[in-house]
Amino acid sequence: MHRRRYGSRATMTPPALKAFFQALPRALDRDAAEDLDAVYQFDLSGPQGGQYVVKIQDGACVVEEGRHPDPHVTLAMAGEDCMKVLNGQLSGPSVLMSGRLRITGDIGLAMQLKALFPTLT
């Protein structure tokens, strides 16, 4: 029987992506989110993909796996690109302009993400 060995990889693994999303509530700038009531849907493709719902309401953040029936904004991209945008390694506008990010719904809410989670960079 052969054992498969996994060395360190430069890309994020799905469990790490899940942990990243689970850490978002602690990274929320409560002052920036104080008057916001928004549901973000992340549809992430590729080996690091998954679906996550990020709800911001009353200065708090809740993250769930899966799909929301009626999100305010949906961001569809590769899981790896999502991580790089949220942690500041890639520019959101440049990923959007290159066609690697599709935004449906309230684009203004998508633009607010960086201000809501300023400590991720």
What is the domain partition of the chain in residue ranges?
Answer: 14-120
Query: With left for phi above 0 and alpha for psi between -120 and 50, is residue 15 left, alpha or beta?
Result: alpha
Task: Specify the pLDDT at position 11.
Answer: 47
Q: Are strands 73-78 and 101-105 parallel, antiparallel or unpaired?
A: antiparallel
Q: Report whether pLDDT(13) > 50.
A: yes
Give dist(CA 2, CA 35) in Å, integer: 56
Question: Has residue 104 got a pLDDT over 60?
Answer: yes
What are 54-95's pLDDT values in tens digits? 999 999 999 999 999 999 999 999 988 988 887 778 888 889
- At 93 the pLDDT is 86
Q: How far apart are CA 95 and CA 12, in angstroms?
A: 18
* HSE-CB for 48 with a 13 A CA cutoff: 19
Q: What is the three-class DSSP state of 73?
A: strand
Query: What contacts 35, CB < 8 A, 6 or more positions away?
Result: none
pLDDT, tens digit, 9 for 90 and up, residues 22-51:
999 999 999 999 999 999 999 999 887 899
* Residue 18 reports pLDDT greater than 70: yes
As a CATH number, domain 14-120 is 3.30.1050.10
